[in-house]
Amino acid sequence: MIESVGRFIIATLEAVGGVLGLFVDTLYWIFVGPFRNKPPRLRPIFYQMVFAGVRSVLIVFFVAIFTGMVLAMQTAYQLEKMGAVIYVASLVAVSLCRELSPVLTALVVAGRVGSAISAELGSMKVTEQIEALETMAINPVRFLVVPRFIALFFMLPALTIVGDISGMLGGFFIGTTSLHLSPDLYIHTNFKYLALKDIYTGLTKAFVFAVIIALIACFEGLNTKGGAEGVGRATTRSVVISFVLIILADCLLTAIFYFSNV
């Protein structure tokens, strides 16, 4: 039992070191590499932006709008007992911008995009395409990781904004139909208690979640072993680890922003 625990701890520390090393290499090829070598091509970055961002808009929209509707209905049930149904608008807006929209969007992207990145890079690894790139003196981090990292870093916050707007739209629909609130009053209350801090907190979380998803997905893909079965294991690990780290990072960031007076 002690031996098994020791092996798990050593493997975990090695994985953490590998992810941090990949993060440092990625930053090098983003900020230093273009001055020493050719700048990265923009077409792969735009392609990854379309894949990670544009093609994820629809699912993020539906997840956020239904979340806003459910949140409005659930909170209205309690607030109605206190005669404060109008505050459903502000509660939905603040909850979405602070917490729900960044987290749900990150989970959706981790499940859709992160798994795809791990599977794609894992297939390249087991078929020795990564080794072929190294043989041709092409750095795999620069060629494969950097475009995906940049795409996720910019597109996840953009998707989070889409989620914010969609969720508030869902709350507006429930507020003006089921709760019979005035549209003007609902919109006024929606933005009255929504502070700028709530918005930039959610966007900060989105940037951190994007880094987590990109690094974990690329690390698992580049370290895949065991053929097709290994690709499946790497994809599963990528999604599970990303989910856990997203929730953990969300907890830490919430503590920093709202309990440290930042």
Query: So what's the pLDDT on residue 247?
Result: 96
In this structure, is residue 4 part of a structural domain? no
In this structure, is residue 214 part of a structural domain? yes
Q: What's the CA gap between 199 and 190, in Å, rounded?
A: 13
Which residue pairs from 75-79 have beta carbons closer than 8 angstroms and sit at least 24 positions apart in sequence? 76/174, 76/175, 76/178, 76/179
Q: Which two structure tokens, joined as six digits, stand for 118?
A: 């791990």
In this structure, is residue 86 part of a structural domain? yes
Query: 230 and 126 in contact (C-beta within 8 Å)?
Result: yes
In this structure, is residue 35 part of a structural domain? no
Q: What's the CA gap between 85 and 87, in Å, rounded?
A: 5
Query: So what's the pLDDT on residue 110?
Result: 95
Query: So what's the pLDDT on residue 38?
Result: 66
What amino acid is encoded at 67 in this protein?
T
Instruction: Average the pLDDT over 146-161 and give the result.
Output: 95
| Whole-structure pTM value | 0.92
Report the percent of the chain where pLDDT is more than 70.
96
What is the span of the domain harbouring residue 207? 21-30+40-259
Q: What's the CA gap between 66 and 104, in Å, rounded?
A: 12
Tens digit of each residue's pLDDT (9 = 90 or more) over 2-52: 888 888 889 888 888 989 999 999 999 888 876 666 666 788 899 999 999
In this structure, is residue 204 part of a structural domain? yes
User: Could you tell me the CA-to-CA distances from 224 to 111, 215, 229 in Å, in that order?
Assistant: 18, 14, 10
Query: So what's the pLDDT on residue 36?
Result: 64
In this structure, is residue 5 part of a structural domain? no
Structural domain count, the chain = 1
Tens digit of each residue's pLDDT (9 = 90 or more) over 96-123: 999 999 999 999 999 999 999 999 999 9
In this structure, is residue 255 part of a structural domain? yes
In this structure, is residue 161 part of a structural domain? yes
Q: Place 259 in a pLDDT band, splitting at 50, 70 and 90.
A: confident
